[in-house]
Structure 1
Amino acid sequence: MHAVTTTELFLVAMLIIFTLPYLFWRLLKTDYFAPLVVVQIVGGVLLGPGVLGAAYPEYYASVFKPEVISALNGVAWWAVMMFVWVAGIELDLHEAWKRRRESGITAGFALLVPLLFGCAAAVVLINWSPDWAGDKGAPWQMILGIGMACAVTALPILVLLLEKLEILRLPIGQRILRYASLDDIAIWGVLALILLDWARIERQGTFLALFAFASWGMRALMQRIPERDRWYVGLVWLALVGLGADWCGLHYMVGAFLAGAVLDAKWFGHQAMDNFRNTILLTVMPVFFLSTGLRTQWDLGGVAVFGAAGLLLFASVSGKLIGIRIAGSILKWEKGEASIIGWLLQTKALIEIIFASVLLDKGIISNETFTALLLMAVASTMLTIPVVTPKLKALSALLKKGG
């Protein structure tokens, strides 16, 4: 009898990853409320130990052996690093500076209010049960981490949703990206603060000093080499900075964002950036979704996890909408404008899951909290298109308003 090899099991897992979510999305035509990326995330959860592993433990154990999971994790790490790197490159700080008052007020309230709501929800959870906290983090890290997870806007997924709504290149679409970009910087900055390890502070300081110096050299190099070489050199830079960030304890994902944030999108071209991001989403990010699903746990009970997810969803959505409404009142926006912007900025999807993955890796949150955050991210993203589409039709005059 033929013994099944690790390679064969890996390819079986890849078949499952790419076939089932796509068939569900295509045949059931879920794109209006659940884009393919959302179906893939949900598929990862269903294929994880909490669902497939619980229903068919022998089949789950026969396919997702430790060596297969290790191989999938390797693909997932590089996939998500490239994804976050592109998100960093897409930040348009020049435009934000030109409109700094409007951008600062909107991005500030869009971040601060859901952060406070999320921190309050985290306090409720930790008082409910200490099992929501990780075993390596301090309470303030868990509370601030969950608060920031509730404040996240998924910038790359936001781009895909704006494309779907056909407003990406319109003034309102560019405004929304500008607000999300500023919040992205703050989110990753706070994550770096959460991960500061005073035992490693010297190593982290060394990394940041070397990164600042190397960034100056990298920017000079990028402007001198041919455009066809920039992608390759950029990926080398990504691996180097990710390695340095992980070595000093800041996590490779913080390094991936920093590696992209110091580069300019104009060096790569917006069309090439869109194509690269879409290629990552098509070819390797589904593996990350599965590896994310493999980490979901329901040990506190399914009802408790769903209850926590509902609490976090309420904190996230209401906080974002209230924050944007406050900004709109200060800036004298037109009626309905804040609602459209708020609903688009509340979408979580991948960046929130990546953020939560880092908190889980560092032991700041528990597996159950991670599962609740993942469910919250999926629900917030599924709400976006159905809620925003009729609002855009009713307020089409706002589409060309530049701020």
Structure 2
Amino acid sequence: MSNTEIFLLAMLVIFTLPYLIWRVGRTDYYAPLVVVQIIAGILLGPGVLGNAFPEVYKFVFAPTIVQSLNGIAWWAVMLFVMIAGVELDLRKAWEYKRESGITAGLALTVPLVFGSLVALALVPMQGWMGVNAMSWQFVLGIGMSCAVTALPILILLMEKLNILREPMGQRILRYASLDDIAIWGVLALIMLDWTRVGRQAIFLLSFGVVAYAFRLLMQKLEERDRWFVALIWLGICAFTADWAGLHFMVGAFLAGAVMDAEWFDQEKMDLLRHHVLLVMMPVFFLSTGLKTNWTLGGATVFVVAAALLVAAVSGKWVGVQVAGKILKWQKGEASIIAWLLQTKALIMIIFANILLDKAVITDATFTALLLMAIASTMLTVPIVQPKLARLRELIGRST
């Protein structure tokens, strides 16, 4: 077969396998299609397909094919992260700054601490910390992975639960938006490269000036032009951030974060997110699955993944429960919010991909984090839906 035919065969597998599992298996209650696509990526990776059928794996996912797939995956995830940045609503968070600050702060810091404790236990062990990492980078990276809330997946799950447009849903988006800012800020700190500190200083200083000029330009454009200019802006920010050593994904998030959601038709933005998820992100999930590795032994990876899952879920639950006590929420309210905020999936996987690309973590650590993200996301709907059914009146509370 030619490389074109093998590439098309790989694309056929990428889109067919998860869809059949999702539709025939009727997994939507426990695992939305996006989660099934992530799992399918793992199944098609070296840890499963590569071990069971090594010749098939080497044929379908040859280096030249993977390189082509990675190009699609990079652009897909850049678009997705930019959209996440656009959808941040910091004005609402400022309007309810005390409540949002307390809840978002505790929902982030407690699981970060719990996850960091797990990471500290892994530091002296071989095979978990990346070759380019200092201990503080590894510990902070793992801790933040446990604290992440996946804003795009959270939106999808709240749509499924019919609470996205309700006051409680909007409150939860405020908390997740603040945590998103912190997550990308911490990532930028972890990615600081002292060998390129001059470039990073130039990028950070010039970004503020250029972003101000960009905002003035966007306000003068018609909406149809804003979509094209936004993509040009995305390319500029991603390229310059990567040139500075901060990773192109940090640039993609900053590109979206300085744009106002009201510059774009909300329905069109929702459709863009939906189409990126439908058409391009499955390729990213496959490229993510190709990085999974069980070289330390499957049992060890699963034990670490379980420890990280306990740290992430319990940390989020404890943090939000404390916030609920301080803010005097009704009984059961904090539990619902905590379980929704522990949704990981996409953003944590993107975060972990960056740590792996920069050799802060190893393939084994990445695999454990990926398993933790999938498990935490799959727990959300089955646990939250019965709670909401018993406490429907809570979703109308705006503070």
Shared topology, TM-score over 0.5? yes
1:42 is aligned to 2:39: yes
Residues 271-326 of structure 1: CA deviation (Å, up to 9, x unaligned): 12111101000000000000000000111000000000000000000000000000
Cα separation, 2, equivalents of 1:166 and 1:79: 27
Partner of 1:93: 90
Identify which of 329, 334, 338 aligns with 2:334.
338
| Residue 386 (str. 1) matches residue 397 (str. 2) | no
Q: Which residue of 2 aligns with 1:245?
A: 241
Residue segments in structure 1 that go unaligned for 5+ positions in a row: none
**1:193 and 2:189 are equivalent in the alignment:** yes
**Cα offset, 1:104, TM superposition:** 0.3
Within-5 A mapping of 1:322-401 = 322-401=318-397
* Distance apart, 1:28 and its partner CA: 1.0
**Are residues 1:117 and 2:114 paired?**
yes
Is it true that 1:316 corresponds to 2:316 in the alignment? no
Select 1:52's aligned residue among 43, 49, 54: 49
Q: How does 1:273-284 map to 2 (within 5 A)?
A: 273-284=269-280
Distance in 1, Cα, partners of 2:266 & 2:319: 30
In the alignment, residue 195 of structure 2 is paired with which amino acid? A
Partner of 1:185, secondary structure, is helix
Letter in 2 for 1:289: F
Matches within 5 A, 1:280-319: 280-319=276-315
Paired residue secondary structure (1:263): coil
Distance 1:156 1:270 in 2: 14
- State the partner residue of 2:140: 144
Distance (whole Å) between structure 1 residues aligned to residue 126 and residue 92 of structure 2: 44
- The aligned length equals 399
Q: 1:204 aligns with which of 200, 203, 214?
A: 200
Residue 8 of structure 1 aligns with which residue?
5
Structure 1 runs (4+) deviating above 2 angstroms are none
Counterpart residue type for residue 220 of structure 1:
L
Q: Which residue of 2 aligns with 1:225?
A: 221
1:402 aligns with 2:365: no
Out of 101, 105, 111, the position equivalent to 1:104 is 101
Q: Percent identity?
A: 64
Aligned-pair CA distance for 1:48: 0.3
Amino acid in structure 1 at the alignment position of 2:138 = M
Q: Aligned-pair distance for 1:197?
A: 1.1
Task: Tell me whether 107-116 or 224-233 shows the greater mean CA deviation.
Answer: 224-233
Q: Secondary structure at the match of 2:127?
A: helix
Of 256, 259, 263, the residue aligned with 1:260 is: 256
Amino acid in structure 2 at the alignment position of 1:269: D
Give distance in 1, aligned partners of 2:123 and 2:303. Answer: 14
Aligned residue identity for 2:24: L
Distance 1:323 1:153 in 2: 13
Deviations 1:353-402 (A, max 9, x none): 00000000001000000000000000000000000000000000001100
Is the partner of 1:184 in helix, strand or coil?
helix
SS of structure 2 residue aligned to 1:31: coil
Q: Find the partner of 1:160 among 148, 156, 161.
A: 156
CA shift at 1:119, angstroms? Answer: 0.2
| Structure 2 residue identity aligned to 1:18 | F
Q: Which residue of 1 aligns with 2:22?
A: 25
Deviates more, 1:219-228 or 1:339-348: 219-228
Q: State the shift of 1:130 in Å.
A: 2.5
Find the aligned partners of 1:155 and 1:212 in 2 and give their Cα distance. Answer: 25
- In the alignment, the residues of structure 2 paired with residue 272 and residue 80 of structure 1 have an alpha-carbon distance, to the nearest angstrom, of 18
SS in 2 for 1:132: coil
Secondary structure of the 2:123 match is helix
Q: Residues of 1 paired with 2:178 and 2:265: CA distance?
A: 21
How far residue 269 of structure 1 moved from its aligned partner, in angstroms, is: 2.4
Question: Shift of residue 210 of structure 1?
Answer: 1.4
Query: Are 2:64 and 1:67 aligned?
Result: yes
Cα separation, 2, equivalents of 1:233 and 1:273? 15
In 2, the alpha carbon distance for the partners of 1:230 and 1:23 equals 37
Mind listing any 5+ residue stretches in structure 2 that lack a counterpart?
A: none
Q: What is the CA deviation profile of residues 39-98 of structure 1, one whole-angstrom value per residue up to 9, with x for unaligned ones?
A: 000000000011001100011111111110000000000000000000000000110100
